[in-house]
Structure 1
Amino acid sequence: MKYWNLKKINQSAVEKTGILPRSINKLFEKFRKELDPNAEVEALEEFKVARYQTVASVKYLLFLFVMPILINQLSKNFVFGPCINNFWNRSEYSIFLNASQEERAFAELQRFEEKLHFEILIGKVSHPSSAFVNHKMTEKALELATEYANESSAAIKNILADFLSMTTLISILIVTRRQFSILKSFVNELIYSLSDTAKAFLIILFTDIFVGFHSPHGWEVIIEVILRHFGLAESRDFIFIFISTFPVILDTIFKYWIFRYLNKISPSAVATYHNMNE
């Protein structure tokens, strides 16, 4: 019984698009099943298959989500963290990893100095002196040095821990190919079982978020966060080139998918998408 379930799930996972749209094929299949005297038995078997597929997919998806994160946090806190912290504590000059960190630190120090002089001018600081100003500036400089040294060490930890997590995820996908096939089949059935309006809504939502006219601002924030996460220099030229090319490539791939696959599987969803997008 279990072997039959897995066989049917794997067949559904590799199901390809035929000449007729998938909705028409399902309509004929529905009539055939209703006329079949063994329809009740087959319906029960299909329910068992669908239930097994759903439970297995949810468990596998949670495993794929939790395991890399768990490996990442454990390795960062108990393996790479102590080693990197030991190296950074022994090195007196390991503060900045790139010029972007220095520019941000200098800008913060300059703003602090301007704020301090402003407070002195408006009388908020009583009995100001050059020694007092130098003391405050030294305190702020040491605070910034500690902050950016921690940021630099955290970037090294992120690189090592993320690499280990990615290696773990790829290894899991390679070892558990059968579970991945079940998950792929489950996702396909979940997407293609949506109504035409729901499909069109999700398409418009996806395109507006990632390739819409307002998406460059979001991509800029995402790239800056990623670069800081790995301790890389925040090159404005690289960010602008990425923003001007990647969304265009993504939009082209997405339109090709609509034309090549979705238009054959569910042409009514494509028509609904065009009507909602006008």
Structure 2
Amino acid sequence: MKNWLLNNLNESAFEKTGPIPRSIARTFERFKKELDPNSESEIIEEFRVSRYQTSASIKYLLLLIIAPILINQVSRIFVFSPFIDYAWSEKNNEIFLNVSQEERAFSELQMFEEKIHFEILIGQLPALSQESIEREIKNKAVELAQYYSHESVTAIKNLLADICSILTFFYLIVSGKRQISVLKSFVNELIYGLSDTAKAFLIILFTDIFVGFHSTHGWEVVLENGLRHFGLPENRDGIFLFIATFPVLLDTIFKYWIFRYLNQVSPSAVATYHEMNE
């Protein structure tokens, strides 16, 4: 029984597209099974395969999500934090990891000083002596130094902990080839089992989010926060170059997938997509 299940799962996982659309082939196959007198037992076995496939896929997918997150948090708290906090505290003169942090700190300090003078001019603050103003600016500078020092330490921890998470994820992928086959089959059945309207809606949704004309601002926010997360300098030219090239490449991949695979498997979904996109 177990071998039969595995054979069916492997066949489903590596099923390739043929000259006849899969939806039409499945219609004829279902009609053929309905006329088969032994179809009842086959339907029961297919249900068992589907149940095993769904259960195994969900378990493995949860493992791929939860295991890297747990490794990330455990390595950050118990391994990297004590070592990095001690090493960073030994270098009291180190505050910034890159030029971008310095520029943001100086900009915030300048805005704070201008805010004090502005509030004094409009009467929201009493007239302060130059010594008092310098004292307030100094306190703000110390506060900013502590903030960016903590941000720098956190960025180093993020980098090391995320490397551990990525290594854990790739280990699970490499060591779980059979689970990957089952998961691939489950995803294929889930995607290609949707209605044509649902397929077209999801394609339009993903393409508009990642490669639409308004997606550039989203990519900019994601890249800036990602660079800060790892303590890397926020190179504006590099960010704009990425935005100008990567969505174009992603759009090409989407169009190739639609033309090469979806057009063979479900041509009606492609027609619905073009009609909805116009």
The yes-or-no answer on 1:28 pairing with 2:36 is no
The yes-or-no answer on 1:222 pairing with 2:229 is no
Runs of 4+ in 1 over 6 A off after TM superposition: none
| Length, aligned pairs only | 278
Partner in structure 1 of residue 103 of structure 2? 103
Structure 2 gaps, min length 5? none
Per the TM alignment, residue 229 of structure 1 is displaced from its structure 2 partner at its CA by 0.7
Per the TM alignment, residue 127 of structure 1 is displaced from its structure 2 partner at its CA by 5.0
State the TM-score, normalizing by the size of structure 1: 0.98
Deviations 1:64-107 (A, max 9, x none): 10000000011111111111111111111211111110000000
Per the TM alignment, residue 270 of structure 1 is displaced from its structure 2 partner at its CA by 0.4
Partner in structure 1 of residue 258 of structure 2? 258
Partner in structure 2 of residue 148 of structure 1? 148
Distance (whole Å) between structure 2 residues aligned to residue 121 and residue 79 of structure 1: 52
Distance (whole Å) between structure 2 residues aligned to residue 73 and residue 248 of structure 1: 35
Q: What RMSD in Å do the two structures reach over aligned CA positions? A: 0.9
Per the TM alignment, residue 7 of structure 1 is displaced from its structure 2 partner at its CA by 1.4
Per the TM alignment, residue 123 of structure 1 is displaced from its structure 2 partner at its CA by 3.0
Distance (whole Å) between structure 2 residues aligned to residue 203 and residue 124 of structure 1: 54
Amino acid at match of 2:244: S
Per the TM alignment, residue 31 of structure 1 is displaced from its structure 2 partner at its CA by 1.4
Per the TM alignment, residue 122 of structure 1 is displaced from its structure 2 partner at its CA by 2.6
Q: Which one is further off, 10-19 or 126-135?
A: 126-135
State the TM-score, normalizing by the size of structure 2: 0.98
Per the TM alignment, residue 32 of structure 1 is displaced from its structure 2 partner at its CA by 1.3
Distance (whole Å) between structure 1 residues aligned to residue 111 and residue 147 of structure 2: 16
Q: Superposed, which structure 2 residues align to 1:34-53 within 5 Å? A: 34-53=34-53
- 3-state SS, counterpart of residue 68 of structure 2: helix
Structure 1 gaps, min length 5? none
- 3-state SS, counterpart of residue 271 of structure 2: helix
Distance (whole Å) between structure 2 residues aligned to residue 45 and residue 171 of structure 1: 33
Distance (whole Å) between structure 1 residues aligned to residue 270 and residue 121 of structure 2: 66
Partner in structure 2 of residue 139 of structure 1? 139
Per the TM alignment, residue 132 of structure 1 is displaced from its structure 2 partner at its CA by 1.0
The yes-or-no answer on 1:84 pairing with 2:84 is yes
Distance (whole Å) between structure 1 residues aligned to residue 122 and residue 128 of structure 2: 11
Q: Superposed, which structure 2 residues align to 1:55-94 within 5 Å? A: 55-94=55-94
Distance (whole Å) between structure 2 residues aligned to residue 161 and residue 228 of structure 1: 15
Distance (whole Å) between structure 2 residues aligned to residue 94 and residue 6 of structure 1: 57
Distance (whole Å) between structure 1 residues aligned to residue 47 and residue 118 of structure 2: 73
Distance (whole Å) between structure 1 residues aligned to residue 262 and residue 7 of structure 2: 26
Amino acid at match of 2:33: K
Q: Superposed, which structure 2 residues align to 1:110-129 within 5 Å? A: 110-126=110-126, 128-129=128-129
**Kindly, what percent of the aligned residue pairs are identical?**
65
Per the TM alignment, residue 126 of structure 1 is displaced from its structure 2 partner at its CA by 3.0
Per the TM alignment, residue 121 of structure 1 is displaced from its structure 2 partner at its CA by 2.0
Partner in structure 1 of residue 193 of structure 2? 193
Amino acid at match of 1:158: N
Distance (whole Å) between structure 2 residues aligned to residue 225 and residue 29 of structure 1: 51
Per the TM alignment, residue 264 of structure 1 is displaced from its structure 2 partner at its CA by 0.6
Partner in structure 1 of residue 172 of structure 2? 172
Amino acid at match of 1:74: V
Amino acid at match of 1:44: I
Partner in structure 1 of residue 236 of structure 2? 236
